[in-house]
Amino acid sequence: MFDRKNVQIDIIKLADGARLLRLTEPISGLALEKKLDPSQPVVRQKDRLLSVLEAALAHTQTVAA
């Protein structure tokens, strides 16, 4: 069962000044990273990446079953 409250969210500043959004699900260890688009709100990008993480976890659970 996926619980968004347990996902670790990190924003990492890269050497060139760009920012990277990393989401990690601690139980499975699955992590997704995406370079942030400065023209888009971070919240929207975070929500989109959370949806992708949720779909990836659901897919891995169905494949493992």
Tokens representing 42 are 């971070």
Domain boundary assignment for the chain = 4-64
Nearest by Cα to 42 from 63, 14, 22, 62: 22
Alpha helices in 1-65 (DSSP H): 42-64
Residue 2 pLDDT more than 80? Answer: no
Residue 65 pLDDT more than 70? Answer: no
Confidence of residue 1 (pLDDT cuts 50, 70, 90): low
Q: What is the CATH number of domain 4-64?
A: 3.30.160
Say if residues 27 and 6 touch (Cβ distance below 8 Å): yes
pLDDT of residue 64: 65
Tokens representing 51 are 């949806």
Q: What is the pLDDT of residues 16-60, one digit of tens each?
A: 999 999 999 998 899 999 999 999 999 999 999 999 999 998 887
Whole-angstrom distance, CA of residue 65 vs CA of residue 51:
21
